[in-house]
Amino acid sequence: MNFSKPTLNIGVVGSGFMGKTHVYGYAIADRVFDLPYKLNLISIADINSKAANSAAKKLGFQKSTADWMSLIHDPELDLISITAPNSLHKDISIAALEANKHVYCEKPLAPTLEETQEMVKASRRSNKKTQVGFNYLSNPMFYTAKEIIANGDLGEIISFRGIHAEDYMSDPRSPYTWRHEPVGGGVLADLGSHILATAEFLLGPIKEVMGESITVIKKRKTTNNKTKNIKIDDISRSFVRFKSGVSGSIEANWLATGCKMKHDFEIYGTKGAIRFSQERLNELYLFSLSDKKNIQGFRKIEAGPANKPYDRFCVAPGHQLGFNELKAIEISNFIKSINNEIPEPFNFASGHRIQKLVDGIHRSSKEKRWVMI
Ligand code: NAD
């Protein structure tokens, strides 16, 4: 029997946290989903030859390079994953699209609106597919939440509260990194982009924002013991109004001591409510006014095979998926879009849309007024 399928050859730029997550996601997606292509990990680039070589050995690539441009121009490659710092996303993406490769770029698409605009233009000039890494949207419980809202089970939606908070910058002694550079983007672009994407995924477009973005820790030491001033935001909060009329609030915070992965939302409607917390990503809580009064309360919906595509990973409910499985789902959908089976789930135009919201919140913060998106 011949199991052969066409191949899709992959190059990855960056072998840090997300580089490894992409590799893991490709490996799982290739085995768990019925993909139209066999996924081959071919080449990896990193900041120098030693790092690239060591990553290639550990992660199972055939080649490595310290020059991302040469990886982009490798004729063997079909798809480029960009998991390098945010400031490099634009140049690498545009070069890859111009070299006729599909591009899977980590979020935020880029730290500024001008850059994301250029990237969208490049994607429109190319006939290749694009994807931005908003992996939380691939949670089966998000699909369930969206279905509950669309079915009208919550009645008319009245309000939304969303937060993405972590604490990895909360220690003022932790060193200055690429995330603190002005081109790093700040907490709203870096983390807030995730919760903005979730808000629009669930409730449609946001029309207006009124925000405040602040820098709390104004100086940090580099690893060479030099002091650097910080201009980007540490905390950003905003009121938002959706096009549908729903009112909401959004918070992005990387100084949230004790919060490890608070990507949480609450949605209230006239007939019920739902709430979710990423630290318990297999659970969605539903309150329904149609329940008998004496048993009313938030009930837990525990992820299981009925919450597709959970069933691809596990036949038993309650055994739980993790962060890496969300990445595998995201990858499988991107690969299907490359084969034109489904539309691109979250392409560069969608990433640009999120950057418009980020830019609007920052402008609103500076100008102290509501900003239309
Ligand atoms: P990281 O610092 O762990 O990794 C970045 C990698 O890029 C490192 O290996 C670094 O050496 C390499 N690199 C730097 N300059 C390079 C160059 N010129 N050429 C090639 N490689 C280079 O960072 P990370 O946490 O993996 O973040 C990478 C990207 O992923 C960022 O855009 C970030 O916003 C995003 N991210 C997304 C999620 C998510 O949930 N989707 C989570 C974390 C990070």
Q: What is the pLDDT of residue 109?
A: 96
Give the mutation target among 46, 135, 164 for probing the ligand 1 site: most ligand atoms within 8 A of CB.
Answer: 46
Query: For the segment 60-110, what is each residue's pLDDT rounded down to a tens digit?
Result: 999 999 999 999 999 999 999 999 999 999 999 999 999 999 999 999 999
Ligand 1 atom nearest to 327, measured from its CA: 41
CA of 285 to the centre of ligand 1 (A): 33
Mean pLDDT of 172-193: 91
Tell me, yes or no, whether 328 lies in a domain: no
Tell me, yes or no, whether 337 lies in a domain: no
Mean pLDDT, rounded, of the chain:
96
Query: For the segment 237-251, what is each residue's pLDDT rounded down to a tens digit?
Result: 999 999 999 999 999
Tell me, yes or no, whether 272 lies in a domain: yes
Q: What is the pLDDT of residue 4?
A: 84
Tell me, yes or no, whether 329 lies in a domain: no
pLDDT at 114 over 70: yes
Q: What is the pLDDT of residue 2?
A: 58
Q: What is the pLDDT of residue 185?
A: 81
Give me the domain span that covers residue 207. 140-280+282-320+345-372
Query: For the segment 209-225, what is each residue's pLDDT rounded down to a tens digit?
Result: 999 999 999 999 999 99
Last residue of a domain, one of 135, 168, 187: 135
SS (H, E, C) the chain: CCCCCCEEEEEEECCCHHHHHHHHHHHHHHHHCCCCCEEEEEEEECCCHHHHHHHHHHHCCCEEECCHHHHHCCCCCCEEEECCCHHHHHHHHHHHHHCCCEEEEECCCCCCHHHHHHHHHHHHHCCCCEEEECHHHHCHHHHHHHHHHHCCCCCCEEEEEEEEECCCCCCCCCCCCHHHCHHHCHHHHHHHHHHHHHHHHHHCCEEEEEEEEECCCCEEECCCCCEEECCCCCEEEEEEEECCCCEEEEEEECCCCCCCCEEEEEEEECCEEEEEEHHHCCEEEEEECCCCHHHCCCEEEECCCCCCCHHHHCCCCCCCCCHHHHHHHHHHHHHHHHCCCCCCCCCHHHHHHHHHHHHHHHHHHHHCCCEEC
Ligand 1 atom nearest to 55, measured from its CA: 9
Query: For the segment 325-367, what is each residue's pLDDT rounded down to a tens digit?
Result: 999 999 999 999 999 999 999 999 999 999 999 999 999 999 9
Residues 211 and 301 in one domain: yes
Last residue of a domain, one of 89, 108, 135: 135
Q: What is the pLDDT of residue 153?
A: 98
Give the mutation target among 83, 181, 191, 327 for probing the ligand 1 site: most ligand atoms within 8 A of CB.
Answer: 83
Ligand 1 atom nearest to 15, measured from its CA: 9
Q: What is the pLDDT of residue 183?
A: 79
Q: How far is CA 315 from CA 15, 30, 168, 325, 345, in A?
A: 32, 18, 35, 15, 25
Q: How far is CA 234 from CA 105, 131, 162, 172, 214, in A?
A: 23, 27, 17, 11, 6
Residues 73 and 197 in one domain: no
Q: Looking at the 3D structure of the chain, how many domains does it have?
A: 2
Asked if 172 contacts 254 with a C-beta cutoff of 8 angstroms, the reply is no
pLDDT at 1 over 60: no
Nearest residue by C-alpha to atom 32 in ligand 1: 86
Tell me, yes or no, whether 179 lies in a domain: yes
CA of 46 to the centre of ligand 1 (A): 10
Nearest residue by C-alpha to atom 15 in ligand 1: 47
Q: What is the spatial distance between Cα 196 and Cα 193, in angstroms, rounded to a whole number? A: 5
For residue 163, give both structure tokens. 């937060």
Q: How confident is the model at residue 184 (pLDDT cuts 50, 70, 90)?
A: confident
Query: For the segment 295-306, what is each residue's pLDDT rounded down to a tens digit?
Result: 999 999 999 999
Q: What is the spatial distance between Cα 311 and Cα 303, in angstroms, rounded to a whole number? A: 10
Instruction: Give the pocket of ligand 1 (CB within 6 Å).
Output: 13-19, 45-47, 51, 68, 83-86, 88, 106-107, 133, 135, 190
Query: For the segment 9-57, what is each residue's pLDDT rounded down to a tens digit?
Result: 999 999 999 999 999 999 999 999 999 999 999 999 999 999 999 999 9
CA of 162 to the centre of ligand 1 (A): 25
Q: How confident is the model at residue 3 (pLDDT cuts 50, 70, 90)?
A: low
Residues 32 and 105 in one domain: yes
Nearest residue by C-alpha to atom 1 in ligand 1: 16
Residues 295 and 263 in one domain: yes
Mean pLDDT of 124-131: 98
Ligand 1 atom nearest to 108, measured from its CA: 34
